[in-house]
Structure 1
Amino acid sequence: MVVQDAVKKETTFIAVGTAVVSLLVIVVFFILHQLVPGYAPFDYTVFLGAIGGTIVAVGNFFWMGLTVQKITGMSEEETDRARSTMAVSLRYRTMLQLLWVVLSIFVPAINLVTGVTPLFVPSILIKIRGILSARKGR
């Protein structure tokens, strides 16, 4: 399967936005650690959480894009199969994110906050982009 340009473009947008937010969270952890050292750790767990969470968030979005690309190529007669394909994709993508959250909770080498925060970013970026583009009249 050839990845369409739209999927590449949107995934790049999500990847950059999620990476920027993850870096901001790391900076916040650094500042908090400087102000109150016992309150917020600033060690390798912060970085592992941010990197892992970013990979899971961007991977989830890319997988969704590939699934949408696949079902848009189906004919109208294959509506039930397309619906089923999208549902299965959603189920597995949700399970992947849930697995990452569980790992973030129970694996001491992963910081929970920096691990889970990136999972919310793609949805927020999409909503902000929609609001801004509606405001411009696009």
Structure 2
Amino acid sequence: MKVDKVVKKETINMGLGILVCSAITQIVFLIFKAYSLAVLLGSIYGGAIALLNFFLMGITVQSVTKLEDENMAKKKMQFSYSMRQLGLVLLLGAGMYIAVNFQIFHWLPILLAVVYPRLIILFFGFFRKEQHLKEGDIS
């Protein structure tokens, strides 16, 4: 399957947003003098999980939009959501296990990274709405 341009563009935007949020996380840990390599590695691991989850969602949406049967499309989206959540839990669990037993990752940046996509979507949604208002697309 070929990845649509919109999915690529939005995944890149999300990746940039995750990088910004991760940088803020690093700065906060520096300010509180709790910074270590584990914080950086936890941010990288968590950010990769969050970005992968977002990309897989985009691929699913891309494929669902091509389906004509609305019920089948809904079932495919629900199944994808369930599988992505299961994968997310498993990967987070693996990260937490590594963080607790081997101290390679710091647990907090991993958990924070899962929230970043929601914050980024909220942030971009607000500014895109403002842009549409300026252009007169919506009232």
Q: Which stretch shows the higher mean deviation, 64-73 or 42-51?
A: 42-51
How far apart in 1 are the matches of 2:72 and 2:120?
A: 30
Q: Residue 97 of structure 2 aligns with which residue?
A: 106
* One-letter code aligned to 2:77: M
How far apart in 2 are the matches of 1:49 and 1:95?
A: 20
Q: Which runs of 5+ in 1 are unaligned?
A: 34-39
Q: Deviations over 1:39-96 (max 9, x none)?
A: x2x3221122101111001100000000000010111xx2222111111110111112
Q: Deviations over 1:86-111 (max 9, x none)?
A: 11110111112212332333323221
Q: Residue 61 of structure 2 aligns with which residue?
A: 68
- Shift in Å at residue 127 of structure 1? 1.3
Q: Residue 80 of structure 2 aligns with which residue?
A: 89
* One-letter code aligned to 1:124: L
How far apart in 2 are the matches of 1:47 and 1:103?
A: 17
TM-score by length of 1: 0.85
- 1:58 equivalenced with 2:28 (yes/no): no
Q: Residue 21 of structure 1 aligns with which residue?
A: 21
How far apart in 1 are the matches of 2:31 and 2:22?
A: 14
* One-letter code aligned to 1:10: E
Q: Residue 115 of structure 1 aligns with which residue?
A: 110
Q: Residue 37 of structure 1 aligns with which residue?
A: none
Provide runs of 4+ in structure 1 moved above 6 Å.
none
* Secondary structure of the corresponding residue to residue 107 of structure 1: helix
How far apart in 1 are the matches of 2:121 and 2:109?
A: 20
TM-score by length of 2: 0.85
* One-letter code aligned to 1:99: L
How far apart in 1 are the matches of 2:95 and 2:48?
A: 13
- 1:43 equivalenced with 2:32 (yes/no): no
How far apart in 1 are the matches of 2:92 and 2:48?
A: 13
